């Protein structure tokens, strides 16, 4: 899906493309390249090269023949791409990096049951491996306990297992190292003062798959690691807030600015929160509304440039001015 976000506008703008997928998730893009050849895309226009980032990614990012690099992934890799650009041909780099998105629930939200169910899906679907996942839940203190209990019930009802089973709602963690890192985040969160409210363990180990149960950590302070660092797993950090100003302060207290959510029945408050939250995407009374017609991108250390919509074409075109004397 993310490869397609880059590929569509790049080809539409008339470019040839080299796609470098993750070494742990290459098969779908290889198949896409096969289908492109069958559909009549000329050989050499769409290319897929596989391998480790430290080999293939390094070669591409330092290549003098590559004009633009677009990347979705970690901030650490994004910085290396910027360094490679400076060391080579000053190629443009557009980076869609991490997020630690705040999902803010006010006591005046119209339907707290719906908010709890959607908020659970907003972090636990795809086992939290979504860049815009609502991985921080900020709840007004007056409803904190009741709302967290309702959200926990929604999380418990989610079916985690074989992604090829259509009844499954959350699949596996991408690889063993990622699962170990997720579990380590849970341990660190508790050591820093957070409370393990639910989950926190590996499940279905007998299948050989890397599955983790939906996990909720409460009593999270703004400076805790679990509130500042992207886990990229099914781990939700919950913090209580006092009022709207406190919610805005907490929502903007990370280095990231990719997405966020607001639940309220007050339209003016919704507009204020959309304006004050320093993110590229804000959901109001929903979470995770995707559509290819609108741009998606981040601010701060969540990156630059936009995927999807006509704005995505901007990355793959150069402006040229011509002065002609008549």
Give the separation between CA 75 and CA 93, rounded to whole angstroms: 13
**Given 3-state DSSP classes, what are the helix, strand and coil percentages for the chain, each rounded to the nearest 5?**
40, 15, 45
Give the separation between CA 283 and CA 131, rounded to whole angstroms: 14
Is 135 in contact with 236 (CB distance < 8 Å)?
yes
* 131 flagged as catalytic: yes
SS3 57: helix
Three-state SS string over 294-308 comes to CCECCCHHHECCCEC
Give the separation between CA 221 and CA 239, rounded to whole angstroms: 7
Q: What is the DSSP letter of 222?
A: T
SS3 186: helix
Token digits for 83? 């360094």
Candidates 23, 38, 52, 96; catalytic one: 96
Candidates 93, 131, 140, 230; catalytic one: 131
* 96 flagged as catalytic: yes
- Name 82's Cβ contacts closer than 8 Å, sequence gap at least 6: 93, 95
Token digits for 69? 């690099």
Is 129 in contact with 163 (CB distance < 8 Å)?
no
Is 57 in contact with 76 (CB distance < 8 Å)?
no
Which residues are identified as catalytic?
Answer: 96, 131
């Amino acid at each position: 899906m993310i490869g397609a976000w880059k590929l569509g506008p790049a080809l539409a703008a008339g470019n040839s493309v080299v796609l470098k997928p993750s070494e742990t998730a290459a098969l779908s893009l290889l198949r896409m390249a096969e289908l492109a050849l069958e559909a009549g895309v000329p050989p050499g226009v769409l290319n897929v090269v596989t391998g480790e980032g430290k080999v293939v990614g390094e070669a591409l990012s330092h290549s003098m023949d590559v004009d633009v690099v677009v990347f979705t992934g970690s901030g650490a890799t994004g910085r290396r791409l910027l360094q490679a650009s400076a060391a080579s041909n000053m190629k443009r780099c557009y980076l869609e990096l991490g997020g630690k998105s705040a999902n803010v629930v006010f006591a005046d939200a119209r339907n707290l049951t719906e908010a709890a169910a959607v908020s659970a899906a907003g972090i636990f679907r795809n086992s939290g491996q979504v860049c815009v996942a609502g991985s921080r839940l900020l709840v007004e203190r007056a409803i904190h306990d009741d709302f967290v209990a309702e959200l926990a019930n929604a999380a418990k009802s989610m079916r985690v297992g074989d992604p090829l089973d259509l009844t499954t709602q959350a699949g596996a963690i991408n690889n063993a190292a990622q699962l170990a890192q997720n579990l380590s985040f849970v341990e660190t969160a508790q050591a820093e003062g957070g409370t393990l409210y639910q989950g926190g363990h590996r499940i279905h180990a007998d299948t050989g798959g890397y599955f983790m149960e939906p996990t909720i950590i409460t009593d999270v302070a703004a400076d805790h690691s679990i509130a500042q660092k992207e886990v990229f797993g099914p781990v939700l950090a919950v913090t209580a807030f006092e009022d709207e100003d406190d919610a805005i302060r907490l929502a903007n207290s990370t280095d990231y600015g990719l997405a966020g959510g607001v639940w309220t029945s007050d339209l003016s408050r919704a507009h204020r929160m959309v304006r004050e939250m320093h993110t590229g995407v804000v959901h109001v009374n929903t979470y995770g509304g995707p559509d290819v017609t609108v741009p998606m991108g981040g601010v701060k250390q969540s990156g630059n440039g936009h995927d999807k919509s006509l704005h995505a074409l901007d990355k793959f075109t150069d402006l040229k001015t011509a002065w002609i004397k008549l």
